Amino acid sequence: MGAMAANSVFEAGRLGPIELRNRVIKCGTNEGMSRKGLVTDELIAWHREFTRGGVGMTTLAYCAVASEGRTFRDQIWMREEAFDGLQQFAAAAHADGACAAIQLGHAGWFSSPHATGTTPIGPSATFSPHAQCRARAMDESDFERVTAEFAAAARLAVAAGFDAIEVHCGHGYLLSQFLCPWNNRRRDQWGGSLENRARFPRQVLRAVRKAAGPHAAVYAKLNMEDGFSSGLVAKDAIEVARWIEADGSVDALQLTGGHTTRTPFFVMRGEVPLRDLIKNQRHWMARLGMRLMAPFLLKPFPFEEGYFLPRALEFRAALGLPLMLLGGLTQLETMERARNLGFDFVAIGRGLIRDPDLVQRLESGELKGSRCVPCNRCIVEMERGGTRCVFREKPGELTQLGGTFPR
């Protein structure tokens, strides 16, 4: 290759106290490979494809800060029993020259009582279609306890060797639920005005920042908008981002959007693999419910390369702290454009699931972009033994719907 271009995705970059070898982050995408709430060898091997393939940092997706915050039984949740596996995960990333991030969250209103054995909690007492029960509104003891659980999870992750903590404040998870007027109907200090709705997420971020210590990076995955009229809108999200920046609790923001309950495909865009999603439901009533409700719950959003970039530029103009851009970044040209527009890092999910060695192949000039097409069948595979690209079966082969195609 020739001389590296200014603001290249291939140049090293600082994220708070840590340095990444380049500006490409494998973002958190549920893997479906944990068992009994623990890291598995399969999960580590899956992430090593990305770290060996050249990413600057890989992200261990959604780890619940407590058992009650899980959405399915095998989901990783942070406790001492998980420490050894977490340590092995971080060590494997480091052995490949990459950094390791962990995504910490609490599902709140749509936690699964079948997985947790507890009633879901949320901003307000409302019926949760995901949990199929009525969530209870958090009380003062819950705010104190959950904040402490986020902090304890951060301490455990740092002790296990993780370089960065990602706090999930998006996609309709608990902290996002407080920001969302549709979820948060409170009229006390935790709801009502935007400042009150942002109080709990800001409190959690400050607690995580303190718990993580001086040597780990902390960033928040923050919705720019929920994607429906009664959800969080961009104007309010920018104000929340300004407050978070003023708090000094994060080293960066990873900008995203969408609400798991109302607009799940707002963040992914592209095709809705409805037939396969229905087949994945294990009980006939669940399949029937999915078939009846899918037209209302699974609204499609058209895919465009870099689809979050226009909205993210509004945040770039309003903020001074580092920003990570995600959303349909498959082409090198788009990634480099984002860097030159002021985004410090690019975060990629499906493009890397399709081509785990994408960074190396982009830098060598072998590829100009990922070969991912937004069919979204990779998310269906999570329920079939682990997230994978249906076009990528074996080295040297592309397999889809029973057909094999040469690479």
Q: How confident is the model at residue 404 (pLDDT cuts 50, 70, 90)?
A: very low
Which tens digit of pLDDT belongs to each residue from 272-315?
887 777 666 655 555 555 566 666 678 889 999 999 999 999 99
Length of the chain: 407
Q: Which residue in the list 62, 173, 219, 307 is annotated as catalytic? A: 173
Please tell me the predicted confidence (pLDDT) of residue 92.
98
Mean pLDDT of 31-59: 98
Quote the longest CA-to-CA distance of the chain. Answer: 61
Alpha helix locations (H) across 61-127?
A: 83-95, 113-116
Q: Which residue has the tokens 């985004």?
A: 343
Please tell me the predicted confidence (pLDDT) of residue 6.
66
Mean pLDDT of 164-193: 98
Mean pLDDT of 91-115: 96
pLDDT at 402 over 50: no
> What structural domains and CATH numbers belong to the chain?
13-269+304-372 (3.20.20.70)
Mean pLDDT of 15-24: 98
Tell me the C-alpha distance between 13 and 344, whole Å: 8
Q: Give Cα separations from 247 to 209, 232, 244, 251, 349 (angstroms).
A: 10, 21, 5, 11, 29
Question: Is there a catalytic annotation at residue 219?
Answer: no
pTM: 0.92
- Parallel, antiparallel or unpaired: strands 252-256 and 323-325: parallel
Which tens digit of pLDDT belongs to each residue from 207-261?
999 999 999 999 999 999 999 999 999 999 999 999 999 999 999 999 999 999 8
Mean per-residue pLDDT over the chain, rounded: 91
Tell me the C-alpha distance between 10 and 65, whole Å: 33
pLDDT at 403 over 60: no
